[in-house]
Amino acid sequence: MFSLPTLSLKDKVSEQEWQTRVDLAACYRLVADMRWGDLIYTHISAKVPGTDHYLVNAFGLAFDEVTASNLVKVDLEGNILDDTPYGINPAGFTIHSAIHEVRHDAQCVIHLHTLATISVASVKGGLKPWSQYSMFSLPSLSYHSYEGLAVDDSEKKRLQDDLGDTNHMLLPNHGGLTLGPTVGDAFMRFYDLQRACEIQLALMQSNEEVIEIPQSIIDGIYAQASVVHSGETGGQKAWPAMLRKAYKLDPGFCE
């Protein structure tokens, strides 16, 4: 059983690292509040600015126990760089190190096992253009086939190749993944992907004929979505409100 630390790292790391820790811890708390978690078994990572190191949750803690100070800092080889009693999830290391190794534009990577993303990823045809939310994901969506528990280093190259330059990924039989240049962008992208999958499931269960979005509209929305729902008008705009929400839930996340 873990004994949660009480010592804050705020004065022991750079300002940039501390802010990254606060943002990442808030993301974990928000995911827990939205019931997107999976006990202790999924993971969100964030790169420490100016380094090849990244932060990830301590394996064994629930998402609503994550704080800025108990996040674990590791390098791309999986070496733990903090003086910490915690370890990390081996599967989480395989997935996140693979992405951080090649996607230097991505500060944050979110990988979750939600019912909606697993379900839509696991049906032939995957995500359909059936809602406005799907328009935000489809232009930059990839798939990576299930290979079992992600603990084999040989899977990293295949994951990297499948991801390419996309920012959303569905993993059949497994879950969903998003990445972004900030924690806020990655969070917004997962929110959009999750909502798109939830709506698709609801429509599939309705047994009614779905009104398809015309291809001409889809092409136009793709261009709009890349501007309207990203960066300063997307995740980065919404993130301060999400931080306030996390603080209202429990201000202890930023300790």
Residue 254 located in a structural domain:
no
Q: What is the 3-state secondary structure (H, E, C) of 71-108?
A: CEEECCCCCECCCCCCCCCHHHHHHHHHHHHHCCCCCE
Q: What is the phi-psi region of residue 183: left when phi exceeds 0, alpha when psi lies from -120 to 50, beta otherwise? A: alpha
CA angle 99, 225, 29 (to 5 degrees): 55
Residue 21 located in a structural domain:
yes
- Domain housing 173: 15-245
Residue 8 located in a structural domain:
no
Predicted TM-score of the model (pTM): 0.89
Reported as a single tens digit per residue, the pLDDT across 9-62 is 887 888 899 999 999 999 999 999 999 988 888 899 999 998 989 999 988 889
Beta strands in the chain (DSSP E): 43-47, 54-56, 72-74, 108-112, 141-143, 168-171, 175-180
- Here the CATH number for the domain that contains residue 100 is 3.40.225.10
Total Cβ atoms within 10 A of residue 150: 23
Reported as a single tens digit per residue, the pLDDT across 56-105 is 998 888 999 999 999 999 888 778 887 777 777 766 678 888 898 899 99
Residue 255 located in a structural domain:
no
Reported as a single tens digit per residue, the pLDDT across 105-117 is 999 999 999 999 9
Number of domains in the chain: 1
Residue 154 located in a structural domain:
yes
